[in-house]
Amino acid sequence: MQVLHDKITKLTIPTPFAVGDTHVYLLKGDRLSLIDAGVKTKEAWETLKAQLKVLGYHPNDIEQIILTHHHPDHTGLIGQFPRAETLAGHKNNDVWLTRNQEFFRRHEQFYRDFFISSGVPESFKGFLKKLEEPMHYAGEGKLTTFLEEHNQLPGHEEWQVIDTKGHAQSHLSFFREKDGAFIGGDHVMGHITPNPIIEPTRKGEEERARPLVQYRSNLLKCLTLGISTVYPGHGENITNLDELVPNQLKRQEQRAGKVLDMLQVEEQTPFHICEKLFPKQIDKQLDLTMSETIGQLDFLEDQGKVVKAMNNGVYYYRAI
C-alpha cells in the first residue's frame, strides 16, 4: 500500500499470474472509487480488505468501480462491493464481464481460424482450451456507465479519460492535467512492455484491430499530454515517460527489424517466425507469442515493408 496523494492511494494485490502483483487505486472525490479490482482469489480479497481497513474503510464504503480494461487481474473482485452502484469502463468490457456466450463462441472460432491461417500445426490444437483458464479469475457484472476519450470520470471531474487501446480493445487510462498524474492500467509499465493482444472482431467490425499499431500510436499520444507520473497496473511508478516511451518504441522497431530480415531470406508463415522469435516460450504461451508476432507483421505491413498472400488457407509473408 502506498499513499500517493491526498486523493490517490495505491493498493497492491497478489495474483496467480506470471506478471505478479497488480495495483488498484483508491480515488477520493465526490465519490469513493476503486480503479480496477484485482483478481478473483481469496488471497486477493483478504489482502484488499486488509489494506482498506488500514485506511479506515470497508468494502461497503466503495461507491463505484472504474475499469482500465477487461483482463482478469483487473476485474476479479468487481462483484464484492455491494454499494458500488456504478461500474464504469469502455463499452468493450461488457462482452467479457457479462460472459456473452455468442461472443465467447466467436472468440474460440476466431482463434481457431487465426491459428490455422497463421500456419500453427495440429499439435497445438489443444491450446485453445487453455485460453479459457484465466477467465476463472475474472469478475462478472455489467457496466452501468460507458466511458470514452475526453469524458470526465464520474465523481472526479479533474480526471480525463484517455483511449489507450493496444494491450486490450477495452483499454482506457485516466489523466489529471493539473499535476500530470496518469493512472495507466497496463498501457505503460517500466519493467516490461505490455503485449498487444489479438482480439476477435465485434458486431459491426469487418476487420480485427491491429493492436501493436494502435499501441504505438497511443504511446505517442501520451507523450503530448504532459504526464509527470504514471501509476501503472503492475510495477513501480514511472516518472521518466519521455525517456521510457522512445526506448520501448526503439526496442519494438528492432524486433520488427529482425522479422524483416527473416522475410528477406524467404517468405514465411507467422508461426515459423514466432518459433524463431520465441523458441522457449511458444509451447506454453502460444497466444501471447503469436499476438506479438502478428503485431510485428502488422507493423511492417503498415509501414509498407511486407505483404501477405494466402496459399492453401495459410498466410505467407514476404518482404517487398
Topology annotation, domain 2-97+134-247 = Metallo-beta-lactamase; Chain A (3.60.15)
CA gyration radius, the chain: 20
Q: Which pLDDT score, from 0 to 100, does residue 289 have?
A: 94
Average confidence (pLDDT) over 307-315:
96
pLDDT value at position 103?
87
Helix (H, G, I), strand (E, B) or coil at 89: strand
E strand or H helix that includes residue 245: helix 241-265
Cα separation of 91 and 100, whole Å?
Answer: 13
**Scanning the structure block, which residue is given the C-alpha cell 479490482?**
37
Sole residue written with cell 461488457: 94
More confident residue, 77 or 99: 77
State yes or no: pLDDT of 189 exceeds 70: yes
Cα gap 28→7, rounded to integer Å:
5
Map out the domains of the chain as residue ranges.
Answer: 2-97+134-247
Between residues 186 and 207, which one has the greater pLDDT? 186
Residue 129: pLDDT band by 50, 70, 90 thresholds?
confident
Residues β-bridged to residue 155: none
| First-to-final CA distance of the chain | 52
Q: What is the C-alpha to C-alpha distance for residues 318 and 243, in angstroms, rounded to an integer? A: 33
pLDDT over 70 percentage in the chain: 98
Number of helices (H), then strands (E), belonging to the chain: the values are 9, 14
Strands 229-232 and 306-311: what pairing?
A: unpaired
Q: Are 197 and 291 in contact (CB under 8 A)?
A: yes
The single-letter code of the amino acid at 145 is T
Please name which of 26, 65, 51, 31 lies closest in space to residue 144, comparing C-alpha atoms. Answer: 65
Average pLDDT over residues 18-29: 95
- pTM over the 0.85 mark: yes
* Residue pLDDT, tens place only, 29-66: 999 999 999 999 999 999 999 999 999 999 999 999 99
- Mean pLDDT (the chain) is 94
CA distance 230 to 187: 10
